[in-house]
């Protein structure tokens, strides 16, 4: 089942129903469109079945330059970059670390992501 949970720019962001309320289930890392872990969600990784992953351009996920908060529930570090293909500055979120607001420097500027289990 799929639910539209928010509007980002002029495109709707669609996420699986299990992610609609919060970062639930086995997802290891969640980006949120708004500060305070609210708004549309992009869930990445699966800490119950650890694998490495990479989103070279969050535009294909409907989440380019959208994130304002992040929650990392996994035992691995999540990496985010300003530009697609791991370009620009690097922002890391350590194991079991969360940011209710990524700060003005990173807010709405994350364009690619990688997680390593």
CATH number of domain containing 58: 2.60.20.10
Q: What is the dihedral of CA 70, 29, 106, 7, to 10 degrees?
A: -70
Cβ atoms of 96 and 82 closer than 8 Å: no
Q: Provide the domain limits for residue 9.
A: 2-115
Entry pTM: 0.76
pLDDT of the residue at 116: 73
Residue 44's pLDDT band, with cuts at 50, 70 and 90, is confident
The tens digit of pLDDT for each residue in 55-91 reads 899 999 899 999 999 999 888 889 999 999 999 999 9
φ/ψ region of 60 (left if φ > 0, alpha if ψ in -120 to 50, else beta) reads alpha
């Amino acid at each position: 089942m799929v639910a539209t949970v928010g509007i980002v720019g002029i495109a709707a962001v669609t996420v699986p129903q299990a992610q609609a309320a919060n970062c639930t289930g086995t997802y290891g890392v969640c980006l949120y469109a708004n500060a305070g872990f609210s708004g549309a969600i992009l869930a990445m990784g699966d800490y119950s079945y650890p694998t490495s992953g990479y989103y070279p351009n969050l535009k294909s996920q409907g989440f380019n330059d959208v994130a304002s908060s992040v929650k990392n529930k996994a035992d691995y570090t999540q990496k985010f970059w300003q530009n697609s293909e791991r370009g620009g500055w690097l922002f890391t979120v350590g194991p079991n670390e969360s940011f209710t607001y990524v700060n003005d420097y990173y807010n709405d500027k994350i364009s690619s992501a990688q997680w390593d289990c």
